[in-house]
Every structure is written in structure tokens, then in C-alpha cells.
Amino acid sequence: MRSDTIKKGIERIPHRALLYSTGLTPQDMKKPFVGIASSFSDLVPGHTNMRSLERSIENGIYEAGGVPFVFGMPGICDGIAMGHSGMKYSLASRELIADCVESVANAHCLDGLVLLTNCDKITPGMLMAVARLNIPSVVVTAGPMMTGRYKGKRLSLVRDTFEAVAKARLGAITEEEIHSLEMCACPGSGSCQGLYTANTMSCLTETLGLSLTGCATALVVLAKKERIAFESGRKIVELVKKNILPHTILTKKAFENAITMDMALGGSTNTVLHLLAIAHEAGIDLPLETFDKISQNTPNITSLEPAGDFYMEDLEYAGGIPAVMKRLKSKLNDCPTVNGKSIYKIAEEAEISDEEVIRPLNKPFHKQGGIAILWGNLAPKGSVVKQVAVSEKMMHFKGKAVCFNCEEEAVAAIMNGKIKKGSVLVIRYEGPKGGPGMREMLSPTSLIVGMGLSNDVALITDGRFSGGTRGPCIGHISPEAASGGPIAVIKNGDEIAIDIPKRKLEINLSKKELDSRLEAWKAPKPKITSGYLSRYAKLVSSADKGAILE
């Protein structure tokens, strides 16, 4: 066992003394040491329930003959960090989390890991660590939040708070309604109710084979989640004893399965960044083109918020990820999982309880998958759009550019009614390097929807979008402005053409004019010159590579 390094031999007398001081017994020294990387936090609603899950995982490890050690991980709530400078830290925290798991696991020679996670950048950070370390691992995602209720209507975070901001500004809702939405939209713990980034990543984690069957959609309030946590504790000891390593599960075919699931569900565009980064840690080449190729051959068979009107609780009661696997079996690879069952076996055993929530392949919500990758002279290295959340009218769009060099400028213009129909908002210098941190743009996109402009205005950015974004919003434009990408030299009034079916994003300029502007461009001074974000900006790659640190 890896842990023998710190617990066997004469030279380890001081090490054993320290371990005994934690309450271990001599018998414990013969057992596998299993770390529980817990991202419990009183600050993150998706993580406040984790104390009980930690106990369930511990009990499972004890029952199976292992020794559990809980250690903490940082966590940021994207919803609370949204719309201000705090969001600069969100994506950057993904790398911190991966580094923290690596540091603790290797410094203490742990034999295996259970990673207790839930929210947007925390789950991919944990998965990056799993791929990097390649020691036996199981991931437990803490579960989705229940929908809220107000006057008989189901509520969720994005539609009923972020999009309500514009309605409040316009005077379309009363003070009483505002207060009621604030109190009722998020009724308790859990990851936000729609198919936003957190829940999408939970679904992809299960599809990759790193979570037990049913984990992704099991709601935070259910005893089912406690049982899954307990069984995950038991399972990790089995994986350690059999030396079943993540690299036997995280194959290229497994990543193709995850992308197929993502497209079928219509998940968050952030998953492109995260799957690229996790694949990189696993040593797997995963070109950006793979996402679009799979999307064009995978129908979108669920319609969860923000694209549709179903929620994670509906997907859970329809059969969860195993039921979606059953639908997709012909398009999936038969890969191993931590369950000890293959993907095909899980799919065969699944039941589909609602034919509308999880539609047949021949009756999809959309013929293609959730995400499209666009290229053109504005995005030579690619850009990303959630095409299933775009109306048919806006799949083709031409408009005049209105340029902003940060998110705050754009939000102020929208709130003050300065954005007119036919505009293409350009928000730049918000990429991984230029932000720094590649902020999500949920505030401006929600304002556009709330003001009724989603069928008349488009938004493009080298930043990114929340999984809750809907409308013609194109992000991850690469190269980013701070690296001298074409988005840096757009001028107000330039015509921009968006053609999602043809995968095109173009600025209507001659090559000579565009090249002249690029040649004259000068890099701006960094926005942040000290602390972690300053170091991050110097090391981070472009979005088309997953915004990894190089």
C-alpha cells in the first residue's frame, strides 16, 4: 500500500507517533488509508449538507475495513460570486482545488480517495486531481437542490432571481414579488435546480464512470444520497484492494461517452473547458472539434432549464443518468466504471419512467446536441454556444457591434436602456488571461432576457457563460483579446455575422483591414498585478485548450 511509506519500518517511529495522536489504533496501521476530500462550506449552498455525507462515507470506509481521513477543500459559489470581481476567482479556483488534492494525497501517501463535491469548479477540480494522481478514487456529488414554490409555480435560481433583476428594473414586478422570489427560489441546500454547470458536471462524472450509479441526480434531501455516500465509502476500499486505477476508467472512449451525454442532455458550455482540462491531466488528446462532431450526431433528448422547463428533480424521477444511458446505448462505448459494472450493463438495467423528460432518439427536442463549436475570422481557434437554448429566429443573425472592455460596462449599458435591437454586444478582455479568470456573464445575459431582447440582441465574449444562460450568447472566443485575438480589434458599428447551423462567427471586414488592425493592436496593462490571479494570468492557456495552467 502507498501508505506503508509513512507507517512501516523503524525510521517511521515519529510518523506512527503522530498518526497515533489522531486517535488511530495499532490495528489501523494494517488497513488502507483513505482520504475524504470534502468541500464542505457554510458559504456554498450546494455544500452545506456535506457534514452528514462525510459521516456516511466514513462509515462505509470503516465497514469495509479502511481508515478514513477527512480533509478540507476550498469552494466558491458561482451564484454569489457572479456579476462582480469575485467571479475572477471561480475558474482559477479549479486549479487550486486540483493542486490541493494532489498535495494532501501525495504528502500523506494516501491509498485511495473519496472526493465529496458538488458545485461548478469544485467538481472539475476534483476530477483533474483524480486524473493527475491516478490512485483509486470515487467521486460523490452532493446532489441537486429542490425547486422552490411561489403561488403554485415552481421556481429556480436563474429564471426567478437573475432574470428577475431586469423585470424589477422595469417595474414589471412588485416589491412583494421581489421579496417572495428572494425567499422562495432557493428553498435549501443543493446545486442549483437546472442543468447548469454543477449538475451537468455531476451527470458527466457518473457517465465517465467515477461515481456510483444514480449519484448525479439523487436529490440532496433524499436518504438515497446518504446510501450512495455510504456505498461509495465501501467501494473505495474494494478499489484500493484490487488496485483499480482511474486511468483504466478515464479512457478516450469514456470522454467520448461524457461528451455524448452532454450533448443529449443539453448541458452547460463550461463542460467544454472542464472536459478538456480533465483529459489533459489524464494524458488524453481531446481536440475541440470532437465536441462538435459528436454534437452533430447526437440528438438532444432532454430539455431541462435553462433551455426547457424541466428540472433536475424531473430527471431524477424519470430514471436519472442510467435511463439516459439506456436511450443512448447505441451511441455509447461500453466502458468500465467504479461500480464494477460496464456502461452497457448499467444501461440495460435502467428504467425510463417518463417518456417526455427523457425522449426517444427518434423524437428529440432537437436533432443535434446541446453545444455547437463556431469558427471564423473572429474565432480562429473556436468558440462555444449552447445552441439548444437559442431560438430558431436567432440561429442566423447579423448585427452591429457595441463594444465593452469589461462586464461592468456592458451591464451598465443594458440597465440604462442603451442596447438597441439589432446589436451584437462584444464583451472582451474577460478571457482566462485578460480577465483574469474568464468570468461568467450571467448578469448581462439574464438582463437581456429579462428585458425581452433575447430574440433581437446577441452577445459574444472571450469570457464564458453560466450554465443558466440562454439565448444567442457565444463564449470562449479564442484567441482571447488579451492575447491579440481578433475580438480585440472589433470597433463599434462593425457588422458581425453569426450562423450557428454553419458553425460560423465572422466580422465583415476584408482580410487586409483585419490584419492591419491586428498589427496595430497593443496589449493593455494587466488588470491585476499581485496575488494569485496575477500568477494565474501568467500561466493560463487559452480557452480552446481548457484554460489549463501551462
307 phi/psi in degrees, rounded to 5: -70, -35
DSSP 410: H
- b/e burial code for range 100-119 (CB count within 10 A of at least 16 → b): bbbebbeebbbbbbbbbbbb
Dihedral through CA 433, CA 434, CA 439, CA 441, nearest 10? -140
Q: How far apart are alpha carbons 31 and 1 in whole angstroms?
A: 9
Could you give the CA distance from residue 322 to residue 350 in angstroms, rounded to a whole number? 5
CA-wise closest residue to 207 among 275, 306, 106: 275
The maximal CA–CA distance of the chain, rounded, in angstroms, is: 76
- Measured between alpha carbons, how far apart are the two ends of the chain, in Å? 32
Q: Which residues pair with 117 in a beta bridge?
A: 141
**Residue in 420, 476, 477, 428 with CA at minimum distance from that of residue 448:** 420
Find out whether 332 and 206 touch, Cβ atoms under 8 Å: no
- Mapping DSSP to helix (H, G, I), strand (E, B) and coil, where does residue 460 land? strand
Give the helix, strand, coil percentages of the chain, each rounded to 5: 45, 15, 40
Cell of 480: 482571447
| Bridge pairing between strands 504-507 and 495-499 | antiparallel
> How many whole angstroms from its chain centre is CA 106?
26
Could you tell me the sign of the dihedral formed by the alpha carbons of 152, 157, 158, 164, in that order?
positive
Backbone φ and ψ of 256, nearest 5°: -65, -40
Per the annotation, the verdict on 466 as an active-site residue is yes
Q: Name the grid cell of 211.
A: 461515481
State the residue for C-alpha cell 451537468. Answer: 200
Distance in angstroms (rounded) separating the CA atoms of residues 110 and 170: 56
CA 87 – CA 439 distance, rounded (Å):
5
DSSP output for 133-157 = H-S-EEEEE--BPPPEEETTEEE-H
The active-site residue, picked from 191, 466, 478, 541, is 466
Strand, coil or helix: 293: helix
Active site residues: 466
